[in-house]
């Protein structure tokens, strides 16, 4: 187990060594915050409430969405992160070096990913605090909501990892993930509520989307934070998240062992 902790540490250090990239992402984050605020301000056009949604709640949601994006960092330039990385390794043959390690590959990747997460947290949290002060946003309605928010966000992270990992396995057959990676990125952006909260969707779509894993990534934790999702409904959402995490995890084990088998037969 210690080994996996160390992998996360090294991955964190690796991020530290690319401070230039971090700075660019920080600036991009600040810029998105500013733009999103202008966008929603324009849309609300001075009114306090639209479709039962208070302006401050909406702004809190949008801000948190940018921050969450910064923390999860699933968006590489054109595709999801692990998928991009795996396709590169498959094409260069570098994947051989990973197979030579007496570790569990999925857990290895998860640790690596978590090291990045820790780094992202380190610079996203201050931005969040700053944004809350400057935009005068609302804190969660109570300690229970804050706690649920963090739990829900953590499961959201697991789901992002699993989806990304599953997509990356396609590279074992195609050595390319550009198409499918870009598609995943788009799907997550649209259906997760990252940009437009799901309650602005028609009721049937909202209902359908709440059963998909994508809404677990942004919509679930963010709605809990602003108090839109609470009580039994919040618990139900978290149950759905957990269920998806279990399903995707099981699927990832099956597909990973197939992908490895494929590689061990076809790649020299």
Q: Which of the choices other proteins, ligand ATP, none does residue 3 contact, using the CB cut-off of 5 to 8 A by kind?
A: other proteins
* Nearer residue to ligand ATP within complex by CB, 133 or 264: 264
Distance CA 205, CA 207 (A): 5
Quick check: 268 binds ligand ATP (CB under 6 A)?
Answer: yes
Distance of closest approach, residue 256 Cβ to other proteins, in angstroms: 13
Distance of closest approach, residue 126 Cβ to other proteins, in angstroms: 24
CA distance to 59, 77, 79, 180, 188, per residue, from 84 (Å): 32, 10, 6, 10, 16
Beta bridge partners of 75: 80
Distance CA 22, CA 104 (A): 29
* Nearer residue to ligand ATP within complex by CB, 56 or 176: 176
204, 232, 26: which is closest to 130 by C-alpha? 26
Lay out the site mask for ligand ATP across 208-247 (x = CB under 6 A, - = otherwise).
----------------------------------------
Distance of closest approach, residue 257 Cβ to other proteins, in angstroms: 11
Q: Which residues bind other proteins (CB under 8 A)?
A: 2-3, 5-7, 10, 13-14, 17-18, 93-94, 96-97, 99-103, 261, 264-268
Distance CA 154, CA 216 (A): 10
Among 144, 187, 247, 267, binds ligand ATP (CB under 6 A): 267
User: Would you say 65 and 194 are in contact if contact means Cβ atoms under 8 Å apart?
Assistant: yes
């Amino acid at each position: 187990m210690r080994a996996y902790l160390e992998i996360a540490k090294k991955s964190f250090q690796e991020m530290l060594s690319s401070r230039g990239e971090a700075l660019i992402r920080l600036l991009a984050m600040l810029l998105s915050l500013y733009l999103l605020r202008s966008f929603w301000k324009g849309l609300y056009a001075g009114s306090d409430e639209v479709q039962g949604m208070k302006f401050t709640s909406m702004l809190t949601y949008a801000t948190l969405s940018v921050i969450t994006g910064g923390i999860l960092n699933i968006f590489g330039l054109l595709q999801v992160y692990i998928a991009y990385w795996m396709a590169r390794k498959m094409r260069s043959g570098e994947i051989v070096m990973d197979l030579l390690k007496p570790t569990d590959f999925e857990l290895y990747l998860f640790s690596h990913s978590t090291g990045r997460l820790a780094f992202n947290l380190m610079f996203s949290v201050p931005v969040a605090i700053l944004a809350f002060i400057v935009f005068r946003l609302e804190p969660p309605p109570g300690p229970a909501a804050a706690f649920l928010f963090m739990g829900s966000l953590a499961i959201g992270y697991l789901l992002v990892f699993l989806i990304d990992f599953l997509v990356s396995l396609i590279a074992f057959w195609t050595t390319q993930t550009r198409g499918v990676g870009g598609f995943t990125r788009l799907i997550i952006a649209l259906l997760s509520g990252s940009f437009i909260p799901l309650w602005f969707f028609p009721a049937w779509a909202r209902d359908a989307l709440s059963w998909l894993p994508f809404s677990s990534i942004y919509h679930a934790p963010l709605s809990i934070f602003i108090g839109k999702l609470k009580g039994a409904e919040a618990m139900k959402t978290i149950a759905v998240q957990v269920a998806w995490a279990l399903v995707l995890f099981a699927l990832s084990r099956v597909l990973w062992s197939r992908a490895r088998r494929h590689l061990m037969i076809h790649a020299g």
